[in-house]
Amino acid sequence: MKKETNDIALSPNSLKVLERRYLKKNSKGEVTETPQGLFRRVAKTIAMADLKFGKEFAEVEKLETDFYEMMTQLNFLPNSPTLMNAGRELGQLSACFVIPIQDSMESIFDGVKNAAIIHKSGGGTGFSFSNLRPNGDMVGSTKGVSSGPISFMTVFDSATEAVKQGGTRRGANMAILRVDHPDILDFITCKDNLDKLNNFNISVALTSDFMNAVEKNEQYDIINPRTKQAEKTIEARYVLDVIIKHAWQTGEPGVIFIDRINESNPTPKVGMIESTNPCGEQPLLAFESCNLGSINLSKMVKDGHVDYEKLKDITHKAVHFLDNVIDINKYPLKQIKEITQANRKIGLGIMGWADMLIDLGIPYNSEKALTLAEELMKFIRQEGRNQSTILAEQRGVFPNHDKSIYHGKMKLRNATITTIAPTGSLSIIAGCSSGIEPLFAVSYIRTVLEGTKMIEVNPKFEEIARKKGFHSDELMTRISESASIKDFKDIPADIRKIFVTSHDISPSDHIKTQAAFQTHTCNAVSKTVNFPTTATPEDVKEVYLLAYKTGCKGVTVYRDGSRDEQVLSVKKKSTVSKSAAVDSQVKKDEYQKIVPKKRPDVIKGTTHCIKTGCGNLYVTINANENNSPFEIFNHIGKAGGCAASQSEAIGRLLSLALRCDIAVDQVIKQLKGISCHQPSWASVGKISSCADAVAKALELHQKHFKIEHTKDGEVFKMGACPECGGTVEHEGGCAVCHDCGFTKCG
């Protein structure tokens, strides 16, 4: 297909993502739409909503042009379902949904059905399982016992796995459980087994009572949702420590501050908020949906200053666009249409924040950046409200306005205006940094067609490097092999300060940035707080407490390599509801010893032949579905005696360690460099011993599957994209591949 892109500044990777995920295809899978055609299709469809409000056709054509130019100039992009489905048969345009689950089989399996319908239409779903009676509780109708929320989560997970969303978006779920639910400890640890619940993000809903108990080092009540009675008390700091330990190990669970979220619930008389969308930035009522869009801040700078006139214009047009989406949308369920059109929530956010700061010469981790973040978001929210007021005068306030906190104060068309969402695929299309995240890297190696590698450099950095005369191919190559340029002395210090990456920024500065934007955001802010591998649980705890103190509505953390390291695989003795786990006597020694994972009947692997002083050592490395080493078999040529028995012993012990999720880089570190009296040389360099040879084989395996390490051993890019093999990055509370646009959160 001819790529007619002369009026859109799209990079080759932007085009690749559009062709792979967004452009129309025929029955043979061939692309039949240009990028201009996509944006024209979307602009025309969304502008047509104005006909419902008495606008003339000529006015609608002018609006279509405004929307088209806003998108093709990459000033604003709506959420993915709108780009994919506007003007097409499916017509489902919202990204975020919350489905209620009540304590009955009918409600639970209605939820499964409704989630499948939403996933098929391209949306992501959030659920609160807090209303379900705990594991082991009485079931009155059968005189049996309940299996609890977590067992039902697996049913939702299996249903999600079965729905492929038309090949364009993956099903994504958020599971939330209140911290005072009897099964809370089981919930916190429910993703310890990496083979389960892979279609869920999980978050604990922390209450104000719980946070007060943490501060005062007191106990808090565990409440049975069936009886609404307190069953036990438990030490708040202990539960927080368990949450933090697992977030440190795996990045989950996240937390949301549920009472704080409900304090800003715009329609409390309609209902209380119990859950959010999959990335946590959009709290919603039962059956409510929300459509999102993001302004590209990298396009809002002029002559070294924020172009507030342009930002005002784009904000007004974007609010108009998103409000129109509500009327054009083909909703997957009747209940969703009713509550969504009654509240008319929209979520206008931003992307390209890091790019804007670079253009302004402001370091991301500076007080000046925090001040600008508050000022900027306040401006967007105010101008968004101004446009919503104009629309309310023309079209009427949202139907639930008389049940809202705005009643008698201001007349708005939309119950909420602003949300800061992750923008993985959208920011690739727009060619800007993701959401409010810092740069992930200044330069990196990108996987292109047929596995070809190419070095991609941040265009702003390359421009400055050439202008200031320190550009060289050798420098760009070195930068692509590092997560940071902070120690590159051949780059001017002022440039290094501006081009900071996520790994240069302290966790507390990540939280301060999130809090600065949250101050003037109606809904919530999606942001990942990055930690180095060396971070401790205490470091994570500090960030959780800081997030609460600074007014955030939730927090998501990711420690480099944590999901692949999984240092501990713990197994609790019993559940909260029926054991001492809810007593004040619960201590951390309730955890048993590490138990190795069971070996599957069939497992795939590769064999490396490495020359050692004792002969050729054949190292077979079998890996799990994530390409992480699972077991090792060693065979040393024709040698017998001690050499053969010791190499076999090494293999057995390493297999045991790997099946217990001991970090591979730690295994390599222990083996590498062990020497014997007969060293040798091989293609991988000096082989000091058979143990050293096994370490070299493991290193080869890690490199082959793109599991990369810095010279300090910190893992910055772990795992490969399941769709294209590129590197997956953690940002915006989600996992994103910048090669193909894949995102774990849909």
Q: pLDDT digits over 21-43, tens only?
A: 999 999 998 999 999 999 999 99
Is residue 237 situated within a structural domain?
Answer: yes
pLDDT at 703 over 80: no
pLDDT-derived band at 407 (thresholds 50, 70, 90) equals: very high
Give mean pLDDT, residues 719-730. Answer: 63
Same domain, 323 and 384: yes
Is residue 118 situated within a structural domain?
Answer: yes
Residues sharing a CB contact under 8 Å with residue 263, sequence separation 6 or more, in sequence order: none
pLDDT at 715 over 50: no
What burial class does residue 274 get, using C-beta atoms within 10 Å of its C-beta: 0-12 exposed, 13-18 middle, 19+ buried? buried
Does residue 296 contact residue 13 with C-beta atoms inside 8 Å? no
- Residue-wise pLDDT for 412-421, tens only, equals 999 999 999 9
Same domain, 48 and 159: yes
Same domain, 197 and 277: yes
pLDDT at 164 over 80: no
pLDDT at 700 over 90: no
Say what the pLDDT of residue 712 is: 37
Same domain, 396 and 460: no
pLDDT-derived band at 577 (thresholds 50, 70, 90) equals: very low
pLDDT-derived band at 402 (thresholds 50, 70, 90) equals: very high
554 against 581, higher pLDDT: 554
Give mean pLDDT, residues 659-679. Answer: 80
Same domain, 42 and 161: yes
**Cβ neighbours of 462 (radius 10 Å):** 15
Give mean pLDDT, residues 547-571. Answer: 72
Say what the pLDDT of residue 190 is: 94
Q: Express as a percent the part of the chain with pLDDT over 70.
A: 86
Rounded to whole angstroms, the Cα distance separating 62 from 57 reads 9
Considering only 376-385, 547-556, 593-602, 603-612, which range has the smallest mean pLDDT? 593-602
pLDDT at 501 over 70: yes
Is residue 588 situated within a structural domain?
Answer: no
pLDDT at 272 over 90: yes
- Residue-wise pLDDT for 68-120, tens only, equals 999 999 999 999 999 999 999 999 999 889 999 999 999 999 999 999 999 98
Is residue 596 situated within a structural domain?
Answer: no
591 against 364, higher pLDDT: 364
pLDDT at 621 over 70: yes
Say what the pLDDT of residue 257 is: 98
Same domain, 123 and 180: yes
Same domain, 611 and 548: no
Same domain, 484 and 397: no
List the end-to-end C-alpha distance of the chain, in Å, as a whole number.
27
Give mean pLDDT, residues 309-325. Answer: 98
Considering only 14-23, 165-174, 336-345, 612-621, which range has the smallest mean pLDDT? 165-174
Same domain, 232 and 187: yes
Is residue 734 situated within a structural domain?
Answer: no
- Residue-wise pLDDT for 486-498, tens only, equals 999 999 999 999 9
Same domain, 340 and 449: no
Same domain, 453 and 412: no
Number of structural domains in the chain = 3
259 against 458, higher pLDDT: 259
**How many residues are there in the chain?**
746
Does residue 653 contact residue 631 with C-beta atoms inside 8 Å? no
pLDDT at 449 over 90: no
Same domain, 233 and 377: yes
Q: Express as a percent the part of the chain with pLDDT over 90.
A: 61
Say what the pLDDT of residue 569 is: 27
Say what the pLDDT of residue 744 is: 66
Is residue 728 situated within a structural domain?
Answer: no
What is the longest distance spanned by two Cα atoms in the chain? 91
Give mean pLDDT, residues 371-390. Answer: 98
Q: Render the burial of 509-534: b for 16+ CB within 10 Å, e for the rest.
A: bbbbbbbbbbebbbbbbbbbbbbbbe
Rounded to whole angstroms, the Cα distance separating 72 from 54 reads 27
pLDDT at 578 over 60: no
Active site residue ranges: 277, 279, 281
What type of residue sits at position 519?
A: T
Rounded to whole angstroms, the Cα distance separating 647 from 670 reads 15
Is residue 64 situated within a structural domain?
Answer: yes
Note the pTM of the prediction, 2 decimals. 0.79
- Residue 642: give the domain boundaries: 605-706
Is residue 739 situated within a structural domain?
Answer: no
pLDDT at 3 over 50: no
Q: What rounded mean pLDDT belongs to the chain?
A: 87
* CATH number of the domain to which 202 belongs: 3.20.70.20
Question: Smallest Cα–Cα separation from 574: which of 182, 229, 255?
Answer: 182
